[in-house]
Structure 1
Amino acid sequence: MAFTCATGNSTEKSGEKNRATGRHRRPGRFERTTARAAGVAALTATGVIGTLAAPALAAEPAAEQTGLIPVITFDNSIADQIDAQAIAQERAAKEAAAVEQAAKEAARLKAAEQAKQEREAKERAAREAERKRLMSYVAPIAGSYISTGYKSGGAVWSSGSHTGVDFHAASGTSVHAVGAGTVVEAGWGGSYGNNIVIKMNDGTYTQYGHLSSIGVSVGQTVTPGQQIGLSGATGNVTGPHLHFEARTTSEYGSDIDPVSYLRSHGVNV
């Protein structure tokens, strides 16, 4: 028969042992096993068990069984190994990142150096091309021909002979500087009519006479093929053409063969 105690909220049945309650009660076997198993589960999740802990586990005595989860215990050496492994992994990750960053920086520097070399090569090529252009010579009138040769005789010339050559050209035809130089005369030249004299970069002089108009001024630098004026029939002439003369100085009487002069500079006339 069961009896009921009238005091308190607990009921005690006949045939059962009283169990002490309170703060000093030891945890039961199931509670201890569960706590230990939770630690094992945490280690298992990190991959430690089966690597570092395997030898230690093999040396442990048979685990206490609860019927739910096996109980495993570890000593401090396992924890030290785990810490060492974590530190090594972190160091390896930092070293790999440093190597990758160094490789990227090396690639950037290499690309920058290559771009610099290519830019400098282009600049050198451009300077060389400009140097060659400034050293080149052209005919004073494109596509024309010589109608009166050098040293031709006749009463038309005050000196008794032609001091230059005449290029066939209708009035208003573009006249070009045969090479690079500086204009030393630009204006009326007596029997030469409107004329231009250029001191060439090689120290010689060239003259362009009988122009209908002048497009440069004294002191101006000119480049090969630059238009300097238009052909015409000013001065002592019988019709429009270009009188071209090569000289050793800027003065009349220092003339040299203009055909040989142009050919020596690569101009086919």
Structure 2
Amino acid sequence: MAFTRATGKHRRATRTARTTRNLAGVATLAASGVVASVASPALAATGEAAHHDTGLQQAVVMGDELAVRIEAQADAQQAAAEATAARAKAEAEALRLAEVAKKKADEERAAKVRAAREAERKRLNTFVAPVTGSYVSTAYKASSGLWSSGSHTGIDFHAASGTSVHAVGSGTVVEAGWGGAYGNNIVIKMNDGTYTQYGHLSSIGVTVGQTVTPGQQIALSGNTGNTTGPHLHFEARTGPDYGSDIDPVAYLRAHGVTV
């Protein structure tokens, strides 16, 4: 005998079909990051015990695990991004500090160069006594028949033969050799345009055209030329030749030398 379904009525889906649909929904939710945590109402309506539907439980557990993995991956990516940003910030700060240190070092080097140049400039513009630790034994313009002009055209520094004689300042040697009554003598054109002369030398240590600096040894004192004993004859002049002399004591004092 044949049975027919009434028109308009539908048979409820079998347990197998319901479970298949639920598994598909759970898989879809898991793939989209949504974790299913409850059973389908259609399944609950059957009144069957949930613990018998082991397939659904396994799918929910798998969904939870997938969500945890996704969350852990997101956390790892965020941590990696933060670490990259931190490294970039640290590198930028290190570069900034290196640039600051370099700038400071450059400024310090430049300051040292300027200081050295200034010190050298001052040294070259400094004047010293022609004989260290000596004194004037014969004054400027002293009268005596020893001199052809009747008076002393320079000053004499007490000095035994062989005493070191120094250039009093920076300049260029314009005469170095025999100077008649002056004996062995040196004449230097100073950088300020004046001239200095050193006479009665026992030996000469510079040549014409040579530049000299303050305190540089240029000769040894002696007893050559018209003299009554060893000493250094020193003159300050406005020109290179005899007769252009000026007061050597005033000249040295004007340049900071105590005489």
The two structures have a TM-score, normalised by structure 1, of 0.73
The number of aligned residues is 213
Query: Mind listing any 5+ residue stretches in structure 2 that lack a counterpart?
Result: 1-32, 40-48
Query: Matches of 2:128 and 2:50 in 1, distance apart?
Result: 106
Cα distance, 1:60–1:92 mapped onto 2, change above 3 Å: farther
Matched, 1:174 2:164: yes
Equivalent in the alignment of 2:87: 97
Match for 1:240: what amino acid? P
Equivalent in the alignment of 1:19: none
The answer (yes or no) to whether the contact 1:137–1:179 under 8 Å persists in 2 is: yes
Once the two structures are TM-superposed, the CA of residue 77 in structure 1 deviates from its matched residue by 9.1
Equivalent in the alignment of 1:142: 132
Cα distance, 1:64–1:141 mapped onto 2, change above 3 Å: farther
Match for 1:148: what amino acid? T
Equivalent in the alignment of 1:74: 63
Match for 2:167: what amino acid? A
Matches within 5 A, 1:1-269: 56=35, 59-61=37-39, 72-74=61-63, 78=67, 83-269=73-259
Match for 1:190: what amino acid? G
Query: Matches of 2:84 and 2:77 in 1, distance apart?
Result: 11
Equivalent in the alignment of 2:3: none
Query: Mind listing any 5+ residue stretches in structure 1 that lack a counterpart?
Result: 1-52
CA RMSD of aligned residues (A): 2.6
Once the two structures are TM-superposed, the CA of residue 209 in structure 1 deviates from its matched residue by 0.2
Query: Matches of 2:172 and 2:50 in 1, distance apart?
Result: 107
Once the two structures are TM-superposed, the CA of residue 87 in structure 1 deviates from its matched residue by 3.1
The answer (yes or no) to whether the contact 1:63–1:72 under 8 Å persists in 2 is: no
Query: Matches of 1:80 and 1:138 in 2, distance apart?
Result: 88
Per-residue CA distance 1:73-118 (angstroms, 9 max, x = gap): 4289936655544433322221111111111212222222222111
Match for 1:133: what amino acid? R
SS of residue paired to 2:114: helix
Cα distance, 1:226–1:63 mapped onto 2, change above 3 Å: farther
Query: Matches of 1:266 and 1:200 in 2, distance apart?
Result: 15
More helix per residue: 2
Per-residue CA distance 1:138-170 (angstroms, 9 max, x = gap): 000011111110011111110111100001111
The answer (yes or no) to whether the contact 1:177–1:225 under 8 Å persists in 2 is: yes
The answer (yes or no) to whether the contact 1:186–1:216 under 8 Å persists in 2 is: yes
Equivalent in the alignment of 1:42: none
Query: Matches of 1:250 and 1:223 in 2, distance apart?
Result: 18
Query: Matches of 2:117 and 2:173 in 1, distance apart?
Result: 24
Overall identity of the aligned pairs, in %: 65
Equivalent in the alignment of 1:50: none
